[in-house]
Structure 1
Amino acid sequence: MATGETGFDDVTYDLISVQYHALKAGHDYGQYVRDAKNAGRDDIAEFFSSVMAEDSARAKQCHKFLKDLATSSQAGPATS
């Protein structure tokens, strides 16, 4: 795999980026759930909860892939 300016290969960088954004969004969605509940919109709160769970699963999957890459020869010098 090609290693970019960061020292990480593109796939590792991409996974880290997706993981970060999924975790950040999950944090923000907690506020959205509270806002919807405070507005009496449990249906919307459930929607935000579902979106939050999807991002949590996405972050966990990225973590698994990153662990796999870290123990392979494909990860590049920054993860070894």
Structure 2
Amino acid sequence: MATGETGFEDVSFDLISVQYHSLKAGHDYGQYVRDARNAGLEDVASFFEEMMAQDSERARRCHDFLTQVGGTPGS
């Protein structure tokens, strides 16, 4: 695999980046859920919860792929 400017293989860097942003977004969505609930908008809160679940799954899949492309199991 090609090695990018970071010294990491491009695919590893890409997976780490997607994983980070998915986890960060999932954290932020928690506040969005609270805001929607405080505004009495349960349908909007449910939408944000769906997004949070999708990002959590995306981060988990990135972790799995990272173990395949050279990460260490359990890291």
Normalising by structure 2, report the TM-score.
0.91
Query: Using the alignment, how far apart are the partners of 1:13 and 1:67 within structure 2?
Result: 13
Query: Using the alignment, how far apart are the partners of 1:35 and 1:5 within structure 2?
Result: 40
Q: Deviations over 1:7-47 (max 9, x none)?
A: 11111110000000000000000000000000000000000
Larger relative contact order (Cα-Cα within 8 Å, sequence gap ≥ 6): 1
Query: Using the alignment, how far apart are the partners of 1:5 and 1:15 within structure 2?
Result: 15
Which residue is 2:59 aligned to?
A: 59
Give the 4+ runs in structure 1 shifted more than 2 A: none
Query: Using the alignment, how far apart are the partners of 2:5 and 2:42 within structure 1?
Result: 46
Q: Does 2:59 align with 1:69? A: no
Which residue is 1:3 aligned to?
A: 3
Structure 1 gap ranges (5+): 72-80
Aligned residues: 71
Whichever of the two has the greater Rg, that structure is: 1
- Please tell me the residue identity of whatever aligns with 2:35: D
Normalising by structure 1, report the TM-score.
0.86
Matched position secondary structure for 1:6: coil
Structure 2 gap ranges (5+): none
Matches within 5 A, 1:22-33: 22-33=22-33
Which residue is 2:20 aligned to?
A: 20
